[in-house]
Amino acid sequence: MTIQRPPTIDKIAAQRWLQIVPPPDKNTSPWLHEEVARRMEERLSCMVQQPKSWLHWQPLQGGLQVHSKLLDRYHHSACYVTEQTEAQNKLAQKLLTPAWWKARRWQSRLPQFKGPDEPIQMLWANMALHMAADPFALLQRWHGLLAVDGFVMFSCLGPDTLIELRKVYAQMGWEEPAHQFTDMHDWGDMLVQAGFAEPVMDMERIRLTYSSPESLIAELRQLGRNLHVQRHGALRGRTWKKDLYHAISQNMQENANDGRLSLTFEIIYGHAFKPVPRIKMQSQATFTLEQMQTALRQTNSDAKNRQ
């Protein structure tokens, strides 16, 4: 049975969020997303494989600053960039294409702002899965874009994210402030069911502090939206907003001495490979020469790895 997570996400709301175009003068992604992308880029040092081509998935939200680091790491590789809408794609092209007078334009291959022409060796997707309308379908789509032995590198929010804010909403008797986020073990199961192999999952918690409820809420609005199917179904009034700020101030102070407000983000990191397709054996079967050669190469590789 296919795992479908998260169970509380409103698919229509998720699609609307994916189509939002950042302001034209905004040349950076949310700070938290950039920080997570920086940490995820460091993990690439553990990957022996040097991709001949790779795809940056939705960098406007996932991380514009890390794109240059990825270009430096894979400066001989073909790079593709894809966004959800044409308007987003044009903005990404404007922000990520180096000016002609900058050395970077001539030191690495320019990104192509379209889907790849052939299977790629790496797909980079930072902080996207937890906002997807259908996460499992997205994993399947990524699998289809990868070449055999290619890998996906991703991050997303985990279930302990916003735990302090969820407690405040529960105390006030309000609906959930956000949809449920999927556990890393469930992501591992979904990767396997989507056709990936050797999934490796990791998790860390980042605690951010804020000087005021206003700055806390403003940051959350940059990171995403409440996609819970049972979220409040109408506009909130000024009184509710005042009550929200008061409740946050009273219940989310990390230290009573400095009065700063604390909020936890659970970050999940994962990567997995696309394996050689298994040949289904029947009483009678017909194989192409290419299939037999691929299977033979894989058998020899497995034998060497076991020695």
Q: What is the DSSP string of 198-227?
A: EEEEEEEEEEEEESSHHHHHHHHHHH----
Q: What is the mean pLDDT of residues 254-258?
A: 68
In a domain, 246, yes or no: no
pLDDT score of 302: 47
46 contact partners, CB below 8 Å, separation of at least 6? none
Confidence of residue 254 (pLDDT cuts 50, 70, 90): confident
Alpha-carbon separation of residue 85 from 32, 70, 88 (angstroms)? 23, 23, 5
**How much is the pTM?**
0.86
Nearest-CA neighbor of 191 among 291, 299, 268?
Answer: 268
| Maximum mean pLDDT: which of 18-32, 52-66, 245-259 | 52-66
Q: How many domains does the chain have?
A: 1
pLDDT score of 257: 59
pLDDT in tens, 221-239: 999 999 999 998 888 888 9
H/E element holding 67? helix 65-73
In a domain, 223, yes or no: no
Q: What is the mean pLDDT of residues 241-256?
A: 89
**Statement: residue 138 has pLDDT above 60:** yes
The length of the chain in residues reads 307
The alpha carbons of the chain give a radius of gyration, in whole angstroms, of: 22
In a domain, 256, yes or no: no
Q: Higher model confidence: residue 26 or residue 19? A: 19
**Which pair of tokens denotes residue 255?**
């230290």
Average pLDDT value over all residues in the chain:
88
Pairing of strands 261-273, 146-157: antiparallel
In a domain, 169, yes or no: no
Nearest-CA neighbor of 97 among 73, 68, 55, 135?
Answer: 68
Q: What is the mean pLDDT of residues 281-296?
A: 62
Cα angle 31, 9, 28 (rounded to 5 degrees) comes to 15
pLDDT score of 101: 65
Alpha-carbon distance 155 to 177, whole Å? 21
In a domain, 80, yes or no: yes
- Please classify residue 307 by burial: count the beta carbons closer than 10 Å to its beta carbon, then call 0-12 exposed, 13-18 middle and 19+ buried: exposed
pLDDT score of 38: 97
Alpha-carbon distance 238 to 258, whole Å? 27
Q: What is the mean pLDDT of residues 1-6?
A: 61
Residue 68's CATH number: 3.40.50.150
Domain of residue 44: give its range: 11-161+176-209+264-302
Q: Higher model confidence: residue 149 or residue 101? A: 149
Nearest-CA neighbor of 49 among 81, 73, 79?
Answer: 73
In a domain, 248, yes or no: no
In a domain, 170, yes or no: no
Question: Percent of the chain at pLDDT above 70?
Answer: 83
Burial 64-89 (b: 16+ CB within 10 A, else e): bbbbeebbebbeebbbbbbbbeeebb
Alpha-carbon separation of residue 221 from 17, 116, 214, 218, 249 (angstroms)? 11, 32, 11, 5, 18
pLDDT in tens, 81-118: 999 999 999 999 999 987 766 666 666 678 899 889 99
Q: How many CB atoms lie within 10 A of CB 15?
A: 14
Q: Higher model confidence: residue 300 or residue 233? A: 233
In a domain, 274, yes or no: yes
